[in-house]
Amino acid sequence: MSDEMEIMLCEQAVRVPAHCTLYALRQQYKPDADVMVVNGYPINEDRALSPGDAVVLIRRGEMPGEAELEALMAARHTPGIHAVLKKAAVGIAGLGGLGSAVAVALARIGVGRLVLADFDVVEPSNLNRQQYFVDQIGMLKTEACAVNLRRINPYVRIETHCVRLTAENVPQIFGDVDVVVEAFDTAEVKAMIAESYGRAFPDRPIVLASGLAGHLPANTVITRRMGKAMVVVGDLNTAAAPGTGLMAPRVGVAAHHQANAVLRLLLGDDPEK
């Protein structure tokens, strides 16, 4: 019988004595850890470990190193998928209810670089659906969004552009990304971004949204491929109007449809299927 066994410590395989306990493991690898998680459950007392146990040792308030955080994320996403996402770059045009939520989702899955563009500031009325906080009112959305994303994943590279997007600067700002997300409210700006980007980069995908206002059923928000490089999320009909506002649940559904479409495009999958 072997006098050692293999366990997973922070998603890395390590060999420890066959009769190793949780406290002994903590003492050897991270004596200052004040949170111990074994097989997905927090444990606050010593116990014998078994082969194959998955242990995570955490010190409250401590930021994990880049390698450790990546290992933990890769284990959830599978290493092959994480490697693809880490190399990817995504542009987000507009950081309101859609764009701020898309940015959060993409940071959480480990997209390596995000290019964010918006000229606006955080207003009190934004807080009903946008990924900002009360103490960020008055901040530039680019600045506030970058702050929030770095708290979620400090190792994502973030490039911000506090400018009003035009047909001339869209190709410049998003010239080296793999996918662009259009996340503005008005039809005119949506059309301008789609036309400008599509003309400059006809083979690169762009993910737009149209028809997501109100409190209609979430299942009416769907993802459609419209042409070779264009994907559109929404019901294509329900716009914001008196009595039909933009609300967090349905806007969030649409934003995560957009983020999922980006994910599938980066992985070479059809976002509609």
pLDDT(230) > 60 = yes
pTM above 0.85, yes or no: yes
Tens digit of each residue's pLDDT (9 = 90 or more) over 57-68? 999 988 888 888
Looking at the domain assignment, is residue 52 inside a domain? yes
The helix/strand/coil state of 17 is strand
Q: Do 223 and 130 share a structural domain?
A: yes
Looking at the domain assignment, is residue 69 inside a domain? no
Please give the Cα distance from 213 to 186 (Å, whole number): 12
Query: Residue 1's pLDDT is what?
Result: 55
Q: Which of 58-72, 100-114, 167-181, 213-227 has the lowest mean pLDDT?
A: 58-72
Query: Residue 137's pLDDT is what?
Result: 98
Number of domains into which the chain is organized? 2
Q: Do 178 and 83 share a structural domain?
A: yes
CA distances in angstroms from 225 to 174, 183, 192, 203, listed in the order given: 21, 17, 19, 14
Looking at the domain assignment, is residue 271 inside a domain? no
Q: Which of 67-71, 131-135, 150-154, 211-215 has the lowest mean pLDDT?
A: 67-71
Two structure tokens written together for 55: 């242990």
Tokens 């082969």 identify what position? 51
Give the H/E segment covering residue 98.
helix 97-108
Looking at the domain assignment, is residue 45 inside a domain? yes
Q: Do 45 and 103 share a structural domain?
A: no
Q: Do 160 and 37 share a structural domain?
A: no
Please give the Cα distance from 241 to 200 (Å, whole number): 33
Please give the Cα distance from 44 to 248 (Å, whole number): 37
Q: Do 140 and 43 share a structural domain?
A: no
Question: Vertex 43, ends 34 and 46: CA angle to 5°?
Answer: 90
Looking at the domain assignment, is residue 67 inside a domain? no
- Average pLDDT of the segment spanning 95-124: 97
Q: Do 112 and 32 share a structural domain?
A: no
Mean of pLDDT over the chain: 94
- Average pLDDT of the segment spanning 225-239: 93
Query: Residue 75's pLDDT is what?
Result: 77
Residue 14: give its domain's CATH number: 3.10.20.30
User: Where is the domain boundary, 34, 62, 90?
Assistant: 62
Two structure tokens written together for 225: 């491929």
- Average pLDDT of the segment spanning 89-113: 97
Q: pLDDT confidence of 150, banded at 50, 70, 90? A: very high
Q: Do 194 and 110 share a structural domain?
A: yes
Q: pLDDT confidence of 125, banded at 50, 70, 90? A: very high
Tens digit of each residue's pLDDT (9 = 90 or more) over 245-264? 889 999 999 999 999 999 99
Q: Do 223 and 123 share a structural domain?
A: yes
Percent of the chain with pLDDT over 70: 100
Tell me the residue range of the domain where 55 lies. 4-62
Q: Do 257 and 157 share a structural domain?
A: yes
Instruction: Give the CB-side neighbour count of residue 206, counting CA atoms within 13 A.
Output: 25
CB 114, CB 156: distance < 8 Å: yes
Please give the Cα distance from 268 to 183 (Å, whole number): 22
Please give the Cα distance from 100 to 273 (Å, whole number): 25
CB 231, CB 261: distance < 8 Å: yes
The dihedral through the CA atoms of 163, 165, 169, 174 has a sign that is positive
**For 148-180, b where at least 16 C-beta lie within 10 A, e where not — what string?**
bbeeebebbebbbbeeebeeeebeebbeebbbb
pLDDT(2) > 80 = no
Q: How far is CA 29 from the centre of its chain?
A: 31
